[in-house]
Amino acid sequence: MNSLKLVLMPCAKLPTKLDYNMNISLRKANETDLPAVLDLIKELATYERAPKEVTITLHDLKKDGFGEHPIFEIILAENEKEILGMAFYFYSYSTWKGKCIYLEDIIVKEAHRGNKIGKLLFEAVIMKCKESGAKRMQWQVLDWNTPAINFYNKYNASLDPTWITGRLTEDQINTFTPVADILIN
């Protein structure tokens, strides 16, 4: 269960901002990686100017990603010393297209950005789409995140400004009162 079918070979040595070379390898995350995953999530939230929005816990990640019915997958980028980044994704379904992959986040530690680690992770998810027969890969990018927009443009990705993201928060869901009894058999 922890191995990807697609070949994720260690890549050529990549120079880092820390002025040394390292071998980067990709692998599927396991439960013991979750503390590092949560740290990456918090780092991204800080970058996106929303550090207080992270409410997920290690318990949530373990239950939802490694429980009886996992609902997400993670590909990690690492060197021989540490986890450097991740691609966090899950399967979705389009009523028009069929099976899709939704890329929730690509996160690379700040000290290692600009070294093609995000490129490796993004391309690994594209390959996962090919392998699984996904009809579409989808993600969101903040309109002010110019480095990410420029990155996606290199792939000739469609960045569609006409779709508006809808969202209900946990509080809105919990305080919702239906107008009638709803029974789903």
102 is catalytic: no
What's the chain look like in SS3? Answer: CCCCCCCCCCCCCEECCCCCEECCEEEECCHHHHHHHHHHHHHHHHHCCCHHHCCCCHHHHHHHHHCCCCCCEEEEEECCCCEEEEEEEEEEEECCCEEEEEEEEEEECHHHCCCCHHHHHHHHHHHHHHHHCCCEEECCCCCCCHHHHHHHHCCCCCCCCCCCCCCCCHHHHHHCCCCCCCCCC
Which of 93, 102, 152, 155 is the catalytic position?
Answer: 152
Q: Which residues are catalytic?
A: 152
